[in-house]
Structure 1
Amino acid sequence: MSDYVLELKGITKAFPGVKALDRVHFQLKKGEIHALMGENGAGKSTFIKIITGVHLPDEGEIILNGVRTQINSPKDAQRLGIAAIYQHVTCFPDLSVTENIFMGHEKVSKRTKRIRWSEMHEEAKLLLQELGSNLDPRTRMGALSVAQQQIVEIAKALSMRARIIIMDEPTAALTARESEELYRIAEKLRDDGASIIFISHRFEDMYRLASKVTVFRDSRYIGSWGVKEISNEALIVAMVGRQITQMFPQRRTEPGEEVLRVEGLGKTGYFADVSFSLRRGEILGLTGLVGAGRTEVCQALFGIANPDRGRVFLRGEEIVIRHPWDAMKAGIGYLPEDRQKQGLVLDWGIGRNITLSALDQLSRRGWVDEKKEAELAKTLGEKVQVKAQSIFDLASSLSGGNQQKVVVAKLLTAHLDVLILDEPTKGVDVGAKSAIYNMISELAAQGYGIIMVSSEMPEVIGMSDRIIVMREGRVTATLEAANIRQEEILAAAMANQAIS
């Protein structure tokens, strides 16, 4: 018997114009949680698709339980006990939990050919209980949180008797508490003999769960190590190919005059009595536990949701914002938390995405000047250092970090004074994070006032001049970032009363 339940040797996969995997290797033991890490574009997604039968490798071999195997389709992978759970859950939102769990392998009566609903509901309930969940299997899938949907996806894998489970960025959209619950489930699966490939950009996921880590870079296999055998610094070098000596850039500019002031902003059921000021060249961190109301405040400032009370002053004059277009005309831009759903048209090219908010500048009598549009897109794409072959590449073809840069470039088409960046490094790798931090710092140096929403405390401390902490829709502290400790931010995020 082989020591490994899954081995990939010399796997190569090429698409027109790009080699997605170049002779990569991977080994997975029974009852092991094995982290797979690398920058966006390192080949991790193609690797998953090879294992799950979406793509066939051009070269190399797959060995399953010591036997050379060819996985020709997702149905083959399912039959062989391989399942994948993705960051963006691929579910049927209008169907029930039970229907999602048994989709494609429903229990059907041999005699009547009818679906055995009672049996399926009961088995779905048992599968969920096995994962520590008391979800009603008759609940509509779309009514569940992301964390609950992922539990249903894991239950679906168990219903197909999967023994190799791939988890692709499962914690990216989860709160700290939800992540802990996912960790508990992953550890239970491991203890029950399942093998897990855990793909993540978060080092805390790897340290919390995995016993081994493999790194891909530029479509190649770099190496495998025991998690306790490799330092954080060495792991970063393996992932990005260089040493990142300083993650957060040095700030040399002093903030200027006040550009934005918010007084007593409130929206019933979401946030209340939110007040703060922002100066030119300042990065104001806005943090707190998920659900604190940070995004809702930002959306109110950008006109996505209208507040019930409060006043907003821009450049010393009171403004009323009823619509995002009002905010953009006044000089406020917004980078949304979900870049794929709210920030980009994925089936459009990079250039068209960048210029989307500037069509009035580029058109005359209803016709867009395509030459002028291409020049503007190229200039702004280069300014934020988007890595692509041309501005005509689809936004969907870019890595997460480069997609984020395109959204920022789109903001720069307008004459803005304030940039609101909601979780600007969410779901991007360590190398892209460093590039985005430098970009934000440069924008502040150019005189933009920046509000940066983030759940990552090192990021908030490393990037901000001042930090506003929220809890349950209220500001509990305004802190100077210099010499602040994470414990102080956490205490403020959990405080009941405002801290001065």
Structure 2
Amino acid sequence: MTDCLLSARGIAKSFDQNRVLHGVDFDISAGQVVALLGENGAGKSTFVNILSGALPRDGGTIAWNGAETVFRDTRSALDAGIIHIHQELSLISSLSVMENLFIGDYRTGRSGFIDRKSLAAKARELLARVGAAHIDPRVEAGSLSTAEQQIVEIAKALARNARLLILDEPTASLTPHEAEALFAIVRDLRDHGVAIIFISHRFDEVFAISDRVVVLRDGRVVGDRPVAETTRAGIIADMTGRAFTFDALDAPAIAADAPIRLKADAIADKGRVGPVSFALRKGEILGIFGLVGAGRTELLELLCGMRPLAAGSISRPDGVVPGNATEAWRSGLALLPEGRKTNGILPSLSLAENVAVAKRQKSSGILDLGAEKSLFSRFREALGIVSEGPEQPIRRLSGGNQQKVIFARCLASEPDILFLDEPTHGVDVRTKADIYRQIQDLAKKGMSVVFVSSELPEVLALASTVMVLSRGRQTMLAANQGLTENDVLTAAFAQA
């Protein structure tokens, strides 16, 4: 199908003195999947928020179904059939699946009460359309897996007769199998005439699902071509102005007699992870790989005192084993958590405050706001944080720059051991490269790093030692010398 559904011309947007979009042109037809790519801060989120009515545009025009249109709010865009599914899912966990599907449009019987039988029947029809007939519409949405919640979000879009579906990093927390199931749904929607804007930092997904690739850089379209005429190297060059490969990274080798910073002996919690044993040495980068649900995050929580130890022991040279997050920060452990929106940023605080909060944990004196601003400025330069200044609210930064701020918070506490849970989750290729270099530089200076990643090439490029978890159990612990992707994946599927 080639009917042009939406045509944007010259879309411009500024925040205060910061120009974010510079005359963006964009078209999408019914029954087409267009990948919208770009570095964090390139303007992707601003652009799709304008398309979905969440932000007003400063200039340009939008034609919807051939007629020039102004979407004054998200309701007007929803009524037209434009549905934006954000990276942070919006289901209300305490409501049932069917209540989430029809929120704001509940069916009522003659009595005026909700006809729950009719609601459940309609919900089952929608769930069946997206291959989720196995989901009981009466269960609480919060009891579903992340993949199931993602599918419910799409079913919710169908309940509103979606004509343009915007998917923002939809597979960020899914396993490859779950992602492929989602792609099957996307292909079916495309075949039924739904237009889809697909935002992702995973290039293999872009080539698997997209018809066209549009690349933004610094608020301008720098690439727009069919996926068949696109290469990974070409996308990276469009996004960054330069190429990037893992070849520039060199996983450090660790001396056998390097001092041990932390030792875990058969540690386990109450059923999710364990037993796990390893010794972490000075300057070592321990990469932890496993499928979603393998217990990676739970292991980091055990090591940082955020999850009670049910078996085994943890030891450190100073004898301090933290029992909670505050004790962990004070004892020289720093954690960058997975899910920056929910577990990382402090959205009501400024950038300077978000960086300095960990350092405050280690002091009891009067706050020195000037020193905190200087601290932020130092990391702003070192990490390349793109911002208006230390007083800017962190919620106004792009996702990649928010990640850098949380990373700066960890470094500001001057830790001995740095724990990173999916440190490049949802960030662009340039930000990934910056984070990779920082991790390697820190290790060369003697810091010990433990990082979790679901991107296997990342683990094999960065780690000096690789650990693999499968269903909570340790199935591999080996020096990263000659390891192949097949070796690691075999261990990841063991006992699964």
TM class by smaller structure: over 0.9
* Sequence identity percentage: 38
Displacement of 1:404: 1.8
Instruction: Give the structure 2 partner of residue 357 of structure 1.
Output: 358
CA 245–88 in structure 1, closer or farther in 2 if over 3 Å, else same: closer
1:258 partnered with 2:260: yes
Displacement of 1:253: 7.2
SS at match of 2:275: strand
Instruction: Please show how residues 189-268 of structure 1 align to structure 2 within 5 Å.
Output: 189-244=189-244, 246=246, 248-250=248-250, 254-255=254-255, 256-268=258-270
Cα deviation code 1:87-120 (max 9, x no counterpart) = 11122222222222112233345x6554443322
Distance in structure 2 (CA, Å) of the matches to 1:245 and 1:323: 39
Instruction: Give the structure 1 partner of residue 5 of structure 2.
Output: 5
Instruction: Give the structure 1 partner of residue 295 of structure 2.
Output: 293
SS at match of 1:392: coil
Instruction: Give the structure 1 partner of residue 432 of structure 2.
Output: 433
- CA RMSD between the two structures: 2.1
Displacement of 1:251: 5.2
Q: Which sits farther off after the overlay, 89-98 or 353-362?
A: 353-362
Displacement of 1:63: 1.8
Distance in structure 1 (CA, Å) of the matches to 2:362 and 2:193: 60
CA 74–376 in structure 1, closer or farther in 2 if over 3 Å, else same: closer
Cα deviation code 1:392-415 (max 9, x no counterpart) = 111112222222222222222334
Distance in structure 1 (CA, Å) of the matches to 2:30 and 2:191: 10
Query: What amino acid sits opposite 1:335 in the alignment?
Result: L
Cα deviation code 1:428-456 (max 9, x no counterpart) = 11111111101111111111011111111
Instruction: Give the structure 2 partner of residue 408 of structure 1.
Output: 407
Cα deviation code 1:37-56 (max 9, x no counterpart) = 11111111111122112223
Q: Which sits farther off after the overlay, 417-426 or 96-105?
A: 96-105
Query: What amino acid sits opposite 1:135 in the alignment?
Result: I
Instruction: Please show how residues 175-186 of structure 1 align to structure 2 within 5 Å.
Output: 175-186=175-186
CA 361–312 in structure 1, closer or farther in 2 if over 3 Å, else same: closer
Distance in structure 1 (CA, Å) of the matches to 2:445 and 2:204: 34
Tell whether the 8 Å contact from 2:329 to 2:361 is kept in structure 1 after alignment.
no
SS at match of 1:93: coil
Instruction: Give the structure 1 partner of residue 70 of structure 2.
Output: 70
The unaligned stretches of length 5 or more in structure 1 are: none
Query: What amino acid sits opposite 1:276 in the alignment?
Result: F
User: Which of residues 279, 283, 286 is equivalent to 1:284?
Assistant: 286
Instruction: Give the structure 2 partner of residue 331 of structure 1.
Output: 332
1:90 partnered with 2:90: yes
SS at match of 2:412: coil
Instruction: Please show how residues 384-463 of structure 1 align to structure 2 within 5 Å.
Output: 384-463=383-462
SS at match of 1:444: helix
SS at match of 1:271: coil
CA 380–43 in structure 1, closer or farther in 2 if over 3 Å, else same: closer
SS at match of 2:274: strand
Tell whether the 8 Å contact from 1:248 to 1:437 is kept in structure 2 after alignment.
no
Q: Which sits farther off after the overlay, 44-53 or 209-218?
A: 44-53
Instruction: Please show how residues 3-152 of structure 1 align to structure 2 within 5 Å.
Output: 3-108=3-108, 113-133=112-132, 134-152=134-152
SS at match of 1:368: coil
Distance in structure 2 (CA, Å) of the matches to 1:354 and 1:59: 35
Tell whether the 8 Å contact from 2:41 to 2:218 is kept in structure 1 after alignment.
yes
Displacement of 1:300: 0.7
Provide the TM-score with structure 2 as the length reference.
0.94
Distance in structure 2 (CA, Å) of the matches to 1:496 and 1:74: 46
Distance in structure 2 (CA, Å) of the matches to 1:418 and 1:115: 54
SS at match of 1:285: strand
Cα deviation code 1:14-49 (max 9, x no counterpart) = 221222221111111221111111111111111112
CA 486–9 in structure 1, closer or farther in 2 if over 3 Å, else same: same
